[in-house]
Copies of this chain bind each other. A is one copy, B any other.
Amino acid sequence: MQQLEQVVTSLRNEGFRITPQRIAIVDYLLKTKEHPNAERIHKTIKRKYPMVSLSTIYKTLDLLKERKLVNEIDVGGEARFDAHTDEHINLVCMKCGKIDDVDDDMLKEIRNKAAKKSKYFILKGSFELFGYCEICKSKRN
């Protein structure tokens, strides 16, 4: 994703209102690498805006998803959010829940091959690898 100002400008240009809640959410997502879920975003934003509601978090995330400004990953029945929107692999640690990003040029190729073979019109891809992160794998039981 881009800079905060770019996002704000593009939202404003599309006719959306710029609210402190929206700025806070976008700002947080741009700065973090932790792929938070809705609740974690809510808790974080609340430190600045104690009145912010969880439903606003969800509504804002919907808006950002539609505008392709954030990416949603489903992991174990809950949604996690990421401002890193170009195609990449999400490595999910099944012990601590951490998610790391890894880029790979082959993803584009895979996508194109699959589209050709299947005759699907593909809009987005989601690539997850599940396992144990470097820290958790050493202390695995």
Q: Considering the complex of A and B, which 7 residue pairs feature the smallest CB-CB distances, nearest first?
A: A122-B131, A119-B134, A74-B74, A121-B137, A126-B128, A123-B131, A121-B132
Partner of A114, one of B113, B129, B132, B137: B129
Q: Which residue of B lies closest to A125 (CB)?
A: B129
Contact between chains at B125 and A128 (CB < 8 Å): yes
Q: Does A58 contact B (CB under 8 A)?
A: no
Residues of A within 8 Å of B, CB-based: how many?
39
List of B residues within 8 angstroms of A130 by Cβ: 122-126
List of B residues within 8 angstroms of A91 by Cβ: 114, 118, 120, 122
Mask for A75-105, Cβ within 8 A of B = 1, else 0? 1010100000000010101100000101010
Contact between chains at A89 and B114 (CB < 8 Å): yes
In the bound assembly, the distance between CA atoms of A93 and B120 in angstroms comes to: 8
Q: Does A47 contact B (CB under 8 A)?
A: no
Binding site for B on A (CB under 8 A): 74-75, 77, 79, 89, 91, 93-94, 100, 102, 104, 106-107, 109-111, 113-115, 117-134, 137, 140
Q: Which residue of B lies closest to A101 (CB)?
A: B118
List of B residues within 8 angstroms of A106 by Cβ: 106, 109-110
Given A114-B89, A129-B111, check contact A123 B104 (CB 8 Å).
no
Indicate the member of A102, A109, A111 with the most B CB atoms within 10 Å: A102
